[in-house]
Amino acid sequence: MGHGKTYLISVVLPTPAHSHLPQILSYRHSESLIKGALVRAPLGKRELLGMVWACEPAIGDTLDDAIKPITWVLPLPVLAQPWCDLVEFTAKYYQRTLGEIAMTALPPQLRELDALQMTRKLTKFAKKLKTQDAVGDDSIRVALSSEQQLAFNQLSDGDVRPALLFGATGSGKTEVYLCRLEAILKADAQAQVLVMVPEINLTPQLESRFKARIEARFGLDSVVLMHSGLTPAQRVQSWLAAHMGQARVVLGTRLAVLASMPRLRLIVVDEEHDPSYKSQDGARYSARDLAVYRGNRESVQVILGSATPSIETWHNAQSNDGKLARYRRIDMPSRIDSTAMPEVRLIDLRVHKKKSLFGECLVPEIVDAIQARAARGEQSLLFLNRRGYAPVLTCSSCDWKSACPNCSAYQVFHKQERRLRCHHCALVTPVPRACPECGDVDIGMQGRGTEQLEEVLAGQLGKHLRVLRLDADSTKLKGSLEAQMALVHSGEVDVLVGTQMVTKGHDFRRISLVVAVNPDSALYAADFRAPERLFSLLMQAAGRAGRDVAVSVQAQVWLQTAHPEHALYQALKKHDYPAFANQQLTERTAANMPPTSYQALLRAEAKTQELAQAFLEQAALCMENAALTHGITLYPAVPMPMQRIAKVERAQMLVESPSRAALQQFLAAWQPYLRELKMGGVLRWALDVDPLTI
DNA sequence: AGCACGCCGACT
DNA sequence: GTCGGCGTGCTC
């Protein structure tokens, strides 16, 4: 009890980055508070959720009268020191404020709750606990293959390094995760496990599998979900369950990496190469990298699983000149059901005249192959990463194109909707009857999207075959994704046409032919990570084929390409990811690119491109000397790959260093200058540390 | 970032 | 006379 004493409390609040407020503010309170306690405190006319960072007794009556008292202390267990460290590290590394990171890590609804609402939540939570059933038995054990058993044994041998579980699609990685986490949960009745997946909505199969397995053994509600799709109330409940130690398994997306889990004992990052682990808005953190930090900080095992690891992870799993690798690699090269990997065929588009192509986009053999599969009751999947009917409309007599007036992109023709749509801003316009420039009525199309591919196939094969399109447009309505998936699973569909949506998560057991219609577009992209993404995408698409023993003999993947000799395709043909990754690593090392160097991007948005670039150049100017002494390379300011979105001009500047620490120091020193540099017309700027796309 | 105050134009 | 436009300035 306070006995009239007063304590000086340092509180972390979500102070806006561009305000000139310090990150940590001082308040008074009549009692001592522990670091990590959640409090509400006044800021201006508002009252905000904050977290106690430090607490000391005020000596005598020396406390300034201007220091306001804390409004109330939330009746919750405090956030543990390792969690505070994780928040501090994240804020420092990604150049954000402590408060911003701390608040994004907490459920948004927690910010608004008053004392009464909080009490109600806790009562509801306590009631839920009472109704919980005790533990079931070990009945649903699945026998591990020898390869899985070997991987499991290695994961249990006490090596403290993060493990890269390098397993082919269909090698049964999930079963290994499950066995490892069951062992950990069984050994310690309070242990908690964090499992991260790229997008939870795309992997309902994984979710139900986890729930069925874990809840049967460790009780109802021992698994909680954590992702942005939950309702605010659900998110509070999940967070409370994790924070109070009730949830044994947290299954979530990237935001779950910041979940409070006081008895965390294992972190699994499934599909660790997936770009959605890198947050693209607000604090641009990499959940995979933070998972590795967190595992190290809390002496907790980290498992990174992938069939196509990121080049960074691949690099970390390699030993350099005899030294032990930072990560250890555990290989699972075989498919669990010992079916063969699908045969990859490269179809040389150069030997076909465009007119001789079916619908001008498919070589005739593919159509034959689709028909042959359908006759045997098997399905085909056509993968084309472009939705809509045609990506561009053109005038045949002048040089008009369906450019979006707000963006540096073309409006896409959507035939069913009879509209032009920009995929970058919200602009939707009617299809012009004649060219807006010259009035010519002969308007043509360039390129093909999934809508057109569906039409071509349905039109010419429609009498015999059932074609279904699966993309963001066909699944816009709630529940329609599930409905369409059900159609595929029940065999109501012969041909599935889809964007990269279809390559994620779902098992289509009857598919025996996968066709990548136009993979070349990503082959020579400016972004040095484009090949890596293409390989992983095609590998995942290939993984959709032949997941069923009955049809596996014929399972094939056909790639239509004008560059069949390309090293990427050749490695894919042999299912040889190591060859591809090593070649990428060699190229990147030679060019001093990541993972050999470390990068950050300074991005600026403004009304004009000149202003955005002028801001970046000014920013570079004030750090010229610092860059020299720190060994930092500042590249010239350039327009972003998508230069203009919704009438906003975007520019960026690359910052590179061979030393991560030097880059960190440089960025930290840069921040105050950037804040001072308020130039008229610059709308926003942001730093992206370890950017994924350049 | 909010949310104030503040000093000028058109409304019942 | 008041409602409200958004310029600038502060928040422990």
Burial of A549 (0-12, 13-18, 19+ CB in 10 A): exposed
A44 CA → C2 C1’, Å? 28
- CB A191, CB A248: distance < 8 Å: yes
Q: Map tokens 């057109």 to a residue.
A: A452
Distance, in Å, from the CA atom of A502 to the CA atom of A505, rounded to the nearest integer, reads: 8
**Mean pLDDT score of chain A, rounded to an integer?**
91
User: Which residue's alpha carbon is at the shortest distance from the C1' of B2?
Assistant: A46
pLDDT of residue A194: 98
A19 CA → C6 C1’, Å? 19
pLDDT, tens digit (0-9, with 9 covering 90-100), for A128-152: 776 655 555 555 667 899 999 999 9
pLDDT of residue A461: 80
H or E element, residue A454: helix A450-461
Mean pLDDT of A429-440: 94
| 3-state DSSP assignment of residue A535 | helix
**Strand C closer than 7 Å to the CB of A675?**
no
Q: Left (φ > 0), alpha (ψ -120 to 50) or beta: where does A185 sit? A: alpha
Of A563 and A476, more confident: A563
Lowest mean pLDDT across A515-529, A543-557, A649-663? A543-557
**Strand C closer than 7 Å to the CB of A166?**
no
Distance, in Å, from the CA atom of A210 to the CA atom of A175, rounded to the nearest integer, reads: 10
Other beta carbons within 10 Å of A193:
26
Where does the pLDDT of residue A253 fall: very low under 50, low under 70, confident under 90, or very high at 90 and above? very high
| Residue A552 clears pLDDT 70, i.e. is over it | no
pLDDT of residue A132: 56
| Residue A499 clears pLDDT 50, i.e. is over it | yes
Q: Rounded to two decimals, what is the model's pTM?
A: 0.94
Distance, in Å, from the CA atom of A494 to the CA atom of A260, rounded to the nearest integer, reads: 46
pLDDT of residue A684: 84
User: Which residue's alpha carbon is at the shortest distance from the C1' of B4?
Assistant: A45
A43 CA → B7 C1’, Å? 26
Question: Which nucleotide is closest to the Cα of A15 by its C1'?
Answer: B1
A153 CA → C8 C1’, Å? 65
- CB A495, CB A503: distance < 8 Å: no
Q: Which residues pair with A328 in a beta bridge?
A: A163
Lowest mean pLDDT across A119-133, A369-383, A408-422, A488-502? A119-133
pLDDT of residue A136: 56
pLDDT of residue A550: 63
H or E element, residue A371: helix A364-375
pLDDT of residue A131: 61
A45 CA → C2 C1’, Å? 25
Taking each helix axis as running N to C, give the angle between helix A115-130 and helix A232-243, from 0 to 180 degrees, rounded to the nearest 10.
Answer: 70
**Strand C closer than 7 Å to the CB of A27?**
yes
Question: Which nucleotide is closest to the Cα of A17 by its C1'?
Answer: B1
pLDDT, tens digit (0-9, with 9 covering 90-100), for A311-346: 999 999 999 888 899 999 999 999 887 778 889 999
**Strand C closer than 7 Å to the CB of A42?**
yes
Mean pLDDT of A242-267: 97
pLDDT of residue A488: 85
| Residue A678 clears pLDDT 80, i.e. is over it | no
| Residue A531 clears pLDDT 50, i.e. is over it | yes
Distance, in Å, from the CA atom of A311 to the CA atom of A588, rounded to the nearest integer, reads: 9
Where does the pLDDT of residue A8 fall: very low under 50, low under 70, confident under 90, or very high at 90 and above? very high
Where does the pLDDT of residue A2 fall: very low under 50, low under 70, confident under 90, or very high at 90 and above? very low
pLDDT, tens digit (0-9, with 9 covering 90-100), for A173-227: 999 999 999 999 999 999 999 999 998 877 778 889 999 999 999 998 999 999 9
**Strand C closer than 7 Å to the CB of A680?**
no
A485 CA → C5 C1’, Å? 53
Distance, in Å, from the CA atom of A16 to the CA atom of A30, rounded to the nearest integer, reads: 28
- Beta-carbon contacts of A610 under 8 Å, excluding residues fewer than 6 positions away, are none
Where does the pLDDT of residue A86 fall: very low under 50, low under 70, confident under 90, or very high at 90 and above? very high
**Strand C closer than 7 Å to the CB of A122?**
no
- Beta-carbon contacts of A459 under 8 Å, excluding residues fewer than 6 positions away, are none
Where does the pLDDT of residue A547 fall: very low under 50, low under 70, confident under 90, or very high at 90 and above? low
Where does the pLDDT of residue A464 fall: very low under 50, low under 70, confident under 90, or very high at 90 and above? confident
A82 CA → C4 C1’, Å? 50
Where does the pLDDT of residue A1 fall: very low under 50, low under 70, confident under 90, or very high at 90 and above? very low
Question: Which nucleotide is closest to the Cα of A67 by its C1'?
Answer: C12
Lowest mean pLDDT across A237-246, A499-508, A636-645? A499-508
